């Protein structure tokens, strides 16, 4: 089920990127060739970029492929790696908790506001931040649970170079 959700999300990201390319390229071509343009193109592209970036960050976190400084941690023993991984996940969860709280408040405030050109609710646009922060929090909680229950193997404590590029 998770693989299906991830695959669907990846296709959605490709679709959003393709739509952004079409809108931006089409708008540039219309401006230079016909001295006109699509009024909504810039706004929709900006909203798609927000969703694309934040959902992409969530998928990258699932794969543990964000940039990291593991040179020192890799030289430690497994016990030290476990302690640092737990502390790191706990600190990231605290940050995601603050981000979720702020995103929830922002979405609630912005639900009544509308984008100037498209009329889309700004709360829907900003909900990308809420989806990302809640998703990251769930991933971190799962990681912490696996660490507490001893289900996390030693080779999972550090992101390997091979998974970082996938």
Q: How far apart are CA 141 and CA 159, in angstroms?
A: 17
Closest CA relative to residue 60, chosen from 156, 148, 159, 146: 159
Looking from the CA of 133 toward its CB, the CA atoms found within 13 Å total 19
- 1 in helix, strand or coil? coil
Enter the DSSP assignment of 76.
Answer: S
The model's pLDDT over 89-147, given as tens digits with 9 standing for 90+, comes to 999 999 999 999 999 999 999 999 999 999 999 999 999 999 999 999 999 999 999 99
pTM, two decimals, is 0.85
Confirm if 130 and 54 have CB atoms less than 8 A apart.
no
Buried b (16+ CB within 10 A) or exposed e, 72-104: ebeeeeeeebbebbbeebeebbeebeebbeebb
Decide if pLDDT at 166 tops 50.
no
Q: How far apart are CA 150 and CA 62, in angstroms?
A: 19
Decide if pLDDT at 2 tops 90.
no
Tell me the mean pLDDT in the region 55-68: 88
Q: How far apart are CA 96 and CA 143, in angstroms?
A: 14
């Amino acid at each position: 089920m998770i693989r299906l959700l991830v695959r669907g999300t990846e296709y959605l990201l490709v679709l959003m990127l393709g739509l952004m390319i079409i809108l931006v390229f089409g708008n540039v071509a219309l401006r230079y060739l016909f001295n006109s343009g699509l009024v909504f193109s810039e706004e929709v592209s900006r909203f798609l970029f927000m969703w694309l970036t934040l959902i992409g960050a969530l998928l990258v976190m699932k794969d543990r492929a964000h940039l990291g400084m593991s040179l020192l941690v890799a030289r430690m023993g497994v016990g030290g790696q476990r302690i640092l991984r737990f502390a790191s996940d706990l600190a990231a969860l605290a940050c995601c908790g603050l981000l979720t709280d702020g995103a929830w408040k922002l979405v609630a405030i912005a639900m009544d506001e509308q984008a100037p050109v498209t009329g889309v609710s700004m709360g829907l646009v900003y909900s990308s931040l809420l989806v990302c922060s809640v998703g990251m929090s769930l991933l971190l909680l799962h990681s912490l649970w696996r660490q507490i229950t001893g289900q996390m193997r030693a080779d999972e404590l550090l992101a390997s170079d091979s998974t970082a590029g996938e």
